[in-house]
Amino acid sequence: SNPEREPPIIVTASSPPEGPTNPAAFIFIYGLGDDGVGLENVPGQFRSVSKLSHLSWILPNALENHETIQTAWYIPTALSSYPSSCLELEDEGDDAGMKSSIAYLVSLIDDLVAKRVPEKSVVLGGFS
């Protein structure tokens, strides 16, 4: 059974784009263990100083991961202060988790494009 993903939090533009400019959106992702709710104050901070009011914000949620016991876009490899001298012993990256997250984020972009937001007006960013 596939784990259920919480739907993204969508904060719509507080004012329409001025003149003939197109709508714009920011898909804003977070680091290990956080969620979209934890970022809801970010659009509010910009709006409180009258910045980026034409921008819609998409705050997606990563899946709850049974290995990390928290939300994760992919399973991070172990961080060791002593790198292995033998590359064969290095941890494998979580390719499946990474590809799944990429596919999900691409689907969010596709949804925006379907709602007439030009691809060039979609920003994907975040922090960890």
CA 52 → CA 20, 22, 33, 46, 124, distances in Å? Answer: 16, 13, 27, 6, 15
Encoded tokens for 5: 């993903």
The one-character DSSP state at 73 is S
**Per-residue pLDDT tens digits for 4-30:** 888 999 998 888 766 556 789 999 998
Q: Indicate whether 69 pLDDT > 70.
A: yes
**Per-residue b/e over 73-85, b at no fewer than 16 CB within 10 Å?**
bbbbeeeeeeeee
Query: What pLDDT sits at residue 49?
Result: 93
Query: What pLDDT sits at residue 123?
Result: 95
Please report which helix (H) or strand (E) contains residue 45, including its range.
helix 41-48
The mean pLDDT of 35-53, rounded to a whole number, is: 87
Query: What pLDDT sits at residue 80?
Result: 52
Query: What pLDDT sits at residue 91?
Result: 59
pTM of the model: 0.79
**Per-residue pLDDT tens digits for 71-123:** 877 777 765 555 556 655 555 677 888 898 899 999 999 999 999 899 999 99
Cα–Cα nearest to 48, from 14, 11, 19, 17 = 14
Burial class (CB in 10 A: 0-12, 13-18, 19+), 69: exposed
Distance in angstroms (rounded) separating the CA atoms of residues 128 and 19? 35
